[in-house]
Every structure is written in structure tokens, then in C-alpha cells.
Amino acid sequence: MKTLGLLTAAAAVTTIMVAGPANADITDAVGFADTTDNGGEEGFSEYAIDVNHPGSCLVVQNHTGGRVRMRLDYPTSRGSWLFDHDDIKIVTRDGKAVESPSGRWQVRVNPPITAVWNYDGNRNTSRGCNGSWVLSMN
């Protein structure tokens, strides 16, 4: 009986470890929070990634403990997106993933937050992206 219990526990741990993170292609989408009021310039910090990955999309991970407002200056401008604590979402406009033709991104976030950029060439390919830049805010 003791052996059976240990095997059951090992199977449960194996299942958890195999499950791992959710499939990258099922990242939730976040659309515009608004299209007219960008909240002014005060309180926004700029972050840019200047690396070529044409056709890439943008995923934002908000691990700040609060809500973050993001605006894009490139590849598109107009409007803003809101990310609640622990959101991990792909940026969309009119239901479609926003893509960068050059692969470069320039964003503004409020409040100013430490940000880290990582590229995942397999992320969101089912949404038509040539990989995704992941902007992690901590």
C-alpha cells in the first residue's frame, strides 16, 4: 500500500511538471482601453526594443501588483491598453494582433516600471505573428 501511495504521488508531481506553462498560442488578447484619452505624458516611461524581428507581435506580462496603462508609439499610435496585475496578454487592435513590420517596438507605460524584453519565435504563430516580443513588467 505504501508503494502504491508513493507511485500515486509521483504521478501527480509528474503531471504537474509536464503541464508546465500554458501553450504560448493561447495568450489572452487585450484590446483598447480607450481611444481618445491617453492620460497625458506625465507619469509615462518609454521602453524600446530595437532588434529586427519583422512581423512580431507584443505580449505584455504585468507582475507589478497593480494596474498598468500602456501606449504604443511604434508601430502604431492612438489609444491605450490596460493590464491588471498578473495579466499576460497579446496586444490587439480591432480583434487582430498588432504586428510590427520592422520587429521594433516603442511603448510608454504608466506608472514607470522596470521592464524586461524577451523574444519568443514560436509565440502566437497561430495568430499570424512571426513570434512575439514579451514585455515583462515587475
107-122 confidence digits (pLDDT tens):
999 998 888 999 999 9
Q: How far apart are CA 24 and CA 6, in angstroms?
A: 33
Please state, in angstroms and rounded to a whole number, the distance separating the CA atoms of residues 15 and 121.
26
For residue 20, the model assigns a pLDDT of 30
Percent of residues in the chain assigned helix, strand, coil, to nearest 5: 15, 40, 45
pLDDT of residue 38: 44
Write out pLDDT tens, residues 60-79: 999 999 999 999 989 987 77
Alpha carbons 10 and 79: distance in angstroms, whole number? 49
Q: Measuring CA to CA, which residue among 33, 49, 23, 51 is closest to residue 115?
A: 49
Q: For residues 29 and 98, which has the higher predicted lDDT (pLDDT)? A: 98
pLDDT attached to residue 100: 95
Which pLDDT score, from 0 to 100, does residue 41 have? 58
Work out the mean pLDDT of the chain and round it to a whole number: 77
**Whole-angstrom Cα distance, residue 35 to residue 7?**
55
Phi, psi of 66 (to 5 degrees): -150, -175
